[in-house]
Structure 1
């Protein structure tokens, strides 16, 4: 008994005719009859009653028809939904990320994705840290997490870096360090830095890098995100070592959006290893085509490589 046998049997019962189904399937009436006879042999009883104007199911045939119809209709509906998902005619992409990440990394990508897939729902769940994003990904009904990449492997999570962000020192324009073309990590030893909370993955990356380079910095100010750190630096309330977000203008570059002009200066710190950021998923090979498409659009907009299937 095969799925095709059941599909043909259901079609014959609904049409009341072997020849009509044969014409629809572009095959012989004998081929249709053979499929029905195969089912009858396996069932051990007659499933169709031949009448002068066609066929009708027997009592046993109606039992099989009812069961097979529900299964076939449900499977056909599922296959149509899968086709819609693959074509972008329906479905959703669910993303968890930090509060300011969408603006920094995804704004252009969201517009491009929406133009390509206007009927797909984009759902964003905001978390306060990459650690919380990892937790939400493993425990929630989510597809993707945009995170600071952890240095170690994580159980039940695959991490894929998209871009590596260089570090800069954000200072007020009238600060003595604002005229420098670069800052060495040794220069950071006597500076009080604005820092992120201890549960911040990117803050942990910075702390580890400074420690490995033998730099001991002090801090009397803590913030929840890099945007707030920039604001405090612009107000002259401290210095902030921050990763360069896409679109920010660096010294020597042309005019652009974001920090780097006006009352704030960004001075490169080339000694610090760049900060890896990108996607985390439970299983890349289990992602829907739409989630993969969104991940690739974001990667392209950030200047990173697409993920290969």
Structure 2
């Protein structure tokens, strides 16, 4: 049983396909199968069950996958820390983010970090959702992931950084544009642009509305918050979105953002495999972003 055997086995369990892992590793499907067979010989039990569309781990396979994934993650972190110790102030910080995360939450922090640590490279990997960020963090050498906080995920620690109140985004000539706030019950009479249905933010919004006994209706769906804001600004619909840093309330130009104070705010922040396993550079970057967000939140409270 080798570390490569375990890495390949974990990859197969998560992909659900021997051929997909073979393509990813640029090897033959037979070579991938040999890694799994070696593990099965040494453990004396079947680890994968073949199905019409791929493979799934058996009960024994799930036990080994969980243990192997945790062990590999810890080893990867240790190796990263050793490299950072050898490199001193050089090295890299690898971050998984959403499509517009850097612009909304990290722009000032990235500039400040680069000025303070010019020899540390920043690498950003764009993912489509918080769930994808969790998966990327677990499967690779990433240090941090910026996420919408949600349910606990095995092997991942979540740390809140800031809370985002909800606002109703409308065009400046909309009848609701001049309001200082909107009651949650009023949203039942408004057809909305839907946030990505499988996103953590959409699930949070649904739960916050359910707590208040409010049911929302949608006639359009988008892939991210910025697209929802753009469509609202163009007068193509209304959207309930988080009040992102840098966006004015009630808004400027053709867009107005009307607070919906009754809805429970959305929490965003960092996810890591282990905080005590972060390199010094990654820890400083995370703290720099958090401090920048705190200043933004404080200035928003002062302004309003």
TM-aligned CA distance change 1:217 to 1:81, over 3 Å: closer
Answering whether residue 270 of structure 2 is matched by residue 279 of structure 1, we say yes
Q: How far did 1:197 drift?
A: 2.1
Q: How far did 1:83 drift?
A: 5.7
In 2, the alpha carbon distance for the partners of 1:208 and 1:160 equals 21
In 2, the alpha carbon distance for the partners of 1:79 and 1:157 equals 21
Q: How far did 1:188 drift?
A: 0.2
Q: How far did 1:236 drift?
A: 0.9
In 2, the alpha carbon distance for the partners of 1:80 and 1:235 equals 50
Secondary structure of residue in 1 paired with 2:177: helix
In 2, the alpha carbon distance for the partners of 1:304 and 1:273 equals 21
Q: How far did 1:153 drift?
A: 1.8
In 2, the alpha carbon distance for the partners of 1:200 and 1:225 equals 9
TM-score scaled to structure 2, two decimals? 0.69
8 Å CA contact 1:162, 1:304 repeated in 2:
no
In 2, the alpha carbon distance for the partners of 1:262 and 1:109 equals 27
In 2, the alpha carbon distance for the partners of 1:221 and 1:108 equals 33
Q: How far did 1:212 drift?
A: 1.8
In 2, the alpha carbon distance for the partners of 1:92 and 1:108 equals 19
8 Å CA contact 2:233, 2:255 repeated in 1:
yes
Match of 1:147 in 2: 147
Q: How far did 1:250 drift?
A: 1.4
In 2, the alpha carbon distance for the partners of 1:214 and 1:143 equals 40
User: Where do residues 1-309 of structure 1 align in structure 2 (5 Å cutoff)?
Assistant: 82=85, 84-85=87-88, 88=89, 90-150=90-150, 152-251=151-250, 260-303=251-294
Q: Which has the larger radius of gyration?
A: 1
8 Å CA contact 1:226, 1:242 repeated in 2:
yes
Secondary structure of residue in 1 paired with 2:189: coil
In 2, the alpha carbon distance for the partners of 1:140 and 1:198 equals 26
Q: How far did 1:277 drift?
A: 0.1
TM-aligned CA distance change 1:266 to 1:143, over 3 Å: same
* Structure 1: runs of 5+ lacking an equivalent: 1-77, 252-259
TM-aligned CA distance change 1:80 to 1:136, over 3 Å: closer
Secondary structure of residue in 2 paired with 1:245: coil
In 1, the alpha carbon distance for the partners of 2:269 and 2:83 equals 32
* Structure 2: runs of 5+ lacking an equivalent: 1-80, 297-304
Q: How far did 1:264 drift?
A: 0.7
Match of 1:17 in 2: none
TM-aligned CA distance change 1:213 to 1:282, over 3 Å: same
Q: Post-superposition, which runs of at least 4 consecutive aligned residues in structure 1 deviate over 6 A?
A: none
In 2, the alpha carbon distance for the partners of 1:126 and 1:280 equals 15
Match of 1:57 in 2: none
Tell me how large the CA RMSD over aligned residues is.
1.7
TM-aligned CA distance change 1:156 to 1:187, over 3 Å: same
